[in-house]
A and B are shown apart, each in its own frame.
Chain A
């Protein structure tokens, strides 16, 4: 009886707290709705918390590209590649001559070479504009970016960080605020990730500077400067908007794609039982 009453009291208090929290989420207490409706965190910085996603087709190709058939004939229209306008400032990716040849090779061998096909970590900036949502969790200290694709994640340290001990797929992210822009300096990459499904690539000398700038309550302008003296002749920029997901009760779900690539990667090593379903009857054709 006593503990029942206590439980009920706790439940009511929790419900009240939940209401307060959800109200706070809608109308951030500390956030003066100034500057084109940009919400602000308790420390006065723009409040980037939320679930964001790129539209468009940068994940297919950072540059202008027309619609084309996909590599699996049986998928027909569903597997075709949509057209898109490029997100590279000036249109050109300034490859060194050897690298331009390699990019073309990558494009011609997309299915066998693209790390995304194997469910590998996407790297930066590719993680940002994949066709999956990601969530920003912003505190006055660290900021975490959680991506639905492959459960990828990054911690952005604000201020200082020691040199990264090892090269990584997602790099080491160091953040700072310049006015209302979150600037993230990303270093210590390996050479394994790509920028898109068109074979655009980099070396381990990659250095990315990202800029996240609110352009209203539900839009972030995303800009990234890409520098890699081993692959490009000069730094180059991409620029695209990120949109806040407005869906009711939206949350990140799981796209744990390892499960979808095991047969492709390890199927030849599986013990044969005679009951196997063929991996795919589909014929590959690319490009």
Chain B
């Protein structure tokens, strides 16, 4: 299964690189820069109240690895399979010839630092390692996604392979992003109001937006220290890395053509990362995509099953194991 997946990935990667070499030019021009991407001749339409129009249904299928792989990585651990040896890759891939979606060939979603590696402090990696090795002990060691609380901000926008729909609505003074996963409506005020008070800590932080030209810039603060920066296996080594109350995310949404929003997020958390880092990806317009109700907690059989399996393992005697 894993081998077959790896083979397909290799084929897809090859095809993608060849077929989309031209696209790479655009990627290189947008690259790690947080400046406004080259907008070419396309002009964003406006909403009734004058905002650049981001409305519609968007998806984020993207098989780009989150980070550039390093020999010291433990992908089995990150994906919740500590005994596994499979090399981690991005989420499920969708080749162009099947779905028509564009795959943007890049080495990693992390564009800054240039080595494509998130500068995680050792304590945070140790805590992640411990948690992921003990997921059957308690829900507290599982990510907020497995717990059906949230995939987080910005983690909820990182590719995961399914439940990948996002609907954006704009009303006077607000941008709203409805996340298919865990049905979260993320409401971003644009009226310049201050962040909520410091005693209010939120799983997804407190978002404030403003427009810089055609770019929606969202400043996110007031996080609690219970969530994580990324929650799913596709985020590889960053999965289950804790967030502290000092987390600060700055997101930039720029519609660069009819079918594409360029998304960049810079993350700083001086208690968790040694330097700020930036990830970059696209949201792709997909008007026919049907978002389903992701009633996650209501159907979360994985949680009791995982824990009861853990308790069964506690009591099983090694002698009774079959080889």
Contacts and interface: CB of A to CB of B under 8 A. Distances in A.
Contacts of A192: 298
A49 to B, nearest CB: 5
Given A139-B55, A151-B182, A254 B290 contact: no
Nearest to B136: A271
Given A146-B185, A256-B150, A10 B202 contact: no
What are the 5 tightest A-B residue pairs by CB atom distance, in nearest-first order?
Answer: A146-B185, A18-B192, A269-B307, A271-B137, A168-B293
Contact of B173 (A25, A152, A168): A25
Interface string B171-182: 111101010001
Contact of A170 (B48, B167, B200, B293): B293
A227 to B, nearest CB: 21
Contacts of A135: 185, 187
B298 A169 contact: yes
A121 B196 contact: no
A181 interface: no
B213 interface: yes
B69 interface: no
A252 interface: yes
Contacts of B83: none
Given A121-B295, A146-B185, A251-B196, A270 B211 contact: no
Interface string A44-74: 0000010000000000000000000000000
Interface string B13-48: 000000000000000000000000000000000001
Interface string A253-265: 1101011001001
A240 interface: no
A151 B150 contact: yes
Given A262-B147, A269-B304, 15 more contacts: A30-B48, A120-B298, A135-B187, A140-B48, A146-B176, A146-B178, A150-B297, A151-B185, A168-B295, A169-B298, A192-B298, A252-B187, A256-B203, A270-B137, A271-B137
B97 interface: no
Interface residues on A, range: 35 or more
Interface in B44-79: 48-50, 55
B297 A19 contact: no
A270 B307 CA distance: 6
B178 A144 contact: yes
A25 B172 contact: yes
Interface string A150-189: 1111010000000001101110000000000000000000
Interface in B298-320: 298, 303-304, 307-308, 310-311, 314
